[in-house]
Chains A and B, each alone.
Chain A
């Protein structure tokens, strides 16, 4: 790979192509409009819709980089959403009064999902379970827990302060976009300005060698899963605020798969090691841009899914050096 070409270069190219296609096919697609100090436009919509996946992908990036995978993020989102919903609008007979402070509710939701992440970290790091098995368990059980919290109901909330998390705006942009952006920047700083990034890559690249180098392997895994849980918690809170309801059945459903794909599209190795947080964010936005494009052009959703799959496979293939070399060889042979 050439110098300066980021590992998510092909994802950026793919994203650019999608935007270009839209710009040509529907004039005005790239236009941004400022009304009441707020920016509007298709691009902003795409970012806004992508924000929860971006958040979850950031956590997933760290987990995958540390040599694991977290299938339970969707369920963690549901738990966070259920916790927020129950606190804001307790079902009849609940032993506590509604909590009116939105920050407190968000904190509680984050704590619930963070706890789920920490549990994964314990199962994988200390108990030594296979990451897929450990997190699959929470993926299945977690949604049940979320349903227990909501008692199987969809809890409708009515708290403008909390809903602002999903539908409000900050600095002229939708709150979810700002939150995702801030988290991305904060994590990049945390990972690259401390030894966290290097240690995570080392653990994911060769856990045995990392242990022999005296690295706190379990602690690093634990940190990755906990951050992943927290990210899912924030995404779950946003989802809850966005639809103004806590829906334990559908919040974050299949989102773990989108997040894993985003990491992969963003150039992260699924086997652990080198990672790119920015790449995962680009990957998540790319998928959302594609979905929006297909649906807005009237492609029926079932076909849109297949098209999405096709593009993803193409991007991932092009990222592979072996694939590009094979193509180059074939071209050289036929010339």
Chain B
């Protein structure tokens, strides 16, 4: 291939306090190439892109843009060098017109006055290149997500971008819009543009990309052409596990326990396709799937945090489509959310208050827990889950991530739920706390509590679960249990769905 190399990074490293985000990464993109940049959370994809676009300066390594050494210090400088980025969260100012958005920062001016007509003409030209005919005087905020996305791309092309970086461009689009966008990318590639595509939809990678770079734990796992890396191999590269590796830990048999809850075809428009599965008494059901496959969405639907609009949940003696967390709590469900900081802890409140909140919420407004029994309940939880705190009266921010997570778990367990939903219960916490949480889940099962746990780590999910529901591209891809439950079986489902 003799095509021009648009950007080339050699040995790039970037360290944040306490975290090595990138280490010795070599990465290059050619003209006429769509390179998919793949990896799980924390793999280093976004850091790599931010280095390339001048948001971060690398600590070491060298960078060539269009064959010349370059070190952009801001996205504007990167743009001047022909590198443009379209981010996942559309960051066009919603009140500006399409024309204004496209020329923002580089307006057609005469004596400092903006030439509106020229600006609008230019915007029309830029959009026409994408085969679009939009009223460029309309405010961008009023356009559909797809059109906003395209406006952002038009803006990048208008800047003479040679390298276009798209970060999850299809996550807010429906299937038809996504397909159209991918077709557009293929056409732009034909015009000699280089494109870096970050997405978690595997199908789209194989639909549009020509080559794949996989990142893992801040390092590059490798470069492949699409033909050389079948889906299953891609998944195992992303997860860093061989398809034939075997873990030894297993959840103990629970025999023929009766189903405690049945999820019957829960679905939510634009968010999550149908999921159905049973949860037996004392059973842990694992939710497995790649980043963005819909694990969190499934749990939020069950709990009513993002209520389903179809399907229901049935249990012995009733059924309902849970509409709010309040209803879920009353039915005896609990949810430990994935994003501990944003949805879990109450910053500024003490560890004690953070633990007592559910118990108190269940008792209601007027029956305040008396001091003595509150203290006792908290010290019992602290001992049981081995939460390391010198004083439960201190603010919860003082605890380590693992101990915060244990406190949130304690919060729910003190109210003795029938079904506990755990979204990535071990993400970002130390090994010790992780072991203790896994052990605790086993104990809860033995006490008859049902658990649904999501995890991005296959080894963990296989070790914890009696049964695993695999999700793929926001749909249920299959279910594995018993003898057939193994990491390779899960990976196959994650990559290809039911055969």
Q: Counting chain A CB atoms within 10 Å of each CB, which of B348, B367, B411 scores highest?
A: B348
In Å, the complex CA distance between A26 and B411 comes to: 56
Q: Is B347 an interface residue (CB 8 A)?
A: yes
Q: Which A positions have Cβ atoms within 8 angstroms of B?
A: 193-196, 198-199, 201-202, 205-206, 208-216, 269, 273-274
In Å, the complex CA distance between A194 and B316 comes to: 34
Q: Is B368 an interface residue (CB 8 A)?
A: yes
Residues of B within 8 A of A273 (CB): 346-349
* Complex contact A214–B325 (CB within 8 A): yes
Q: What's the interface size class on B, roughly?
A: 20 to 34
* Complex contact A208–B366 (CB within 8 A): no
- Nearest 6 A/B pairs, CB to CB: A214-B329, A273-B348, A205-B346, A214-B326, A195-B360, A208-B343
| In-complex Cβ contact of A195 among B328, B330, B342, B363 (8 A) | B363
Residues of B within 8 A of A215 (CB): 326, 357, 361
For residue A219, which residue of chain B has the nearest CB?
B365
* Complex contact B348–A269 (CB within 8 A): yes
Pairs across A and B, CB under 8 Å, 16 listed = A193-B368, A195-B364, A195-B365, A195-B367, A195-B368, A198-B357, A199-B360, A202-B349, A202-B353, A205-B348, A206-B342, A209-B342, A211-B325, A212-B305, A212-B325, A212-B344
* Complex contact B353–A206 (CB within 8 A): no
Q: Is B356 an interface residue (CB 8 A)?
A: yes
* Complex contact A206–B368 (CB within 8 A): no
Nearest chain A CB to B490 CB, angstrom units = 28
* Complex contact B365–A199 (CB within 8 A): yes
* Complex contact B342–A274 (CB within 8 A): no
In Å, the complex CA distance between A155 and B498 comes to: 80
Chain A interface main SS type: helix
Nearest chain A CB to B345 CB, angstrom units = 7
* Complex contact B326–A209 (CB within 8 A): no
Q: Is B337 an interface residue (CB 8 A)?
A: yes
Q: Is B358 an interface residue (CB 8 A)?
A: yes
* Complex contact B368–A212 (CB within 8 A): no
Residues of A within 8 A of B363 (CB): 195
| In-complex Cβ contact of B365 among A194, A201, A205, A208 (8 A) | A194
Residues of A within 8 A of B119 (CB): none
* Complex contact A198–B325 (CB within 8 A): no
Nearest chain B CB to A66 CB, angstrom units = 13
| In-complex Cβ contact of A216 among B326, B342, B349 (8 A) | B326
* Complex contact B347–A214 (CB within 8 A): no
Q: Is B83 an interface residue (CB 8 A)?
A: no
Residues of A within 8 A of B305 (CB): 211-212
Residues of B within 8 A of A202 (CB): 346, 349, 353, 357
* Complex contact B348–A274 (CB within 8 A): yes
* Complex contact A201–B329 (CB within 8 A): no
Known contacts A195-B363, A206-B347: does B325 contact A213 (CB below 8 Å)? yes
For residue A193, which residue of chain B has the nearest CB?
B368
Known: A214-B326, A214-B330, A273-B348. 16 other contacts (CB 8 A): A194-B368, A195-B360, A195-B363, A199-B365, A201-B348, A201-B353, A202-B346, A202-B349, A205-B347, A209-B344, A211-B326, A212-B303, A212-B337, A273-B346, A273-B349, A274-B348
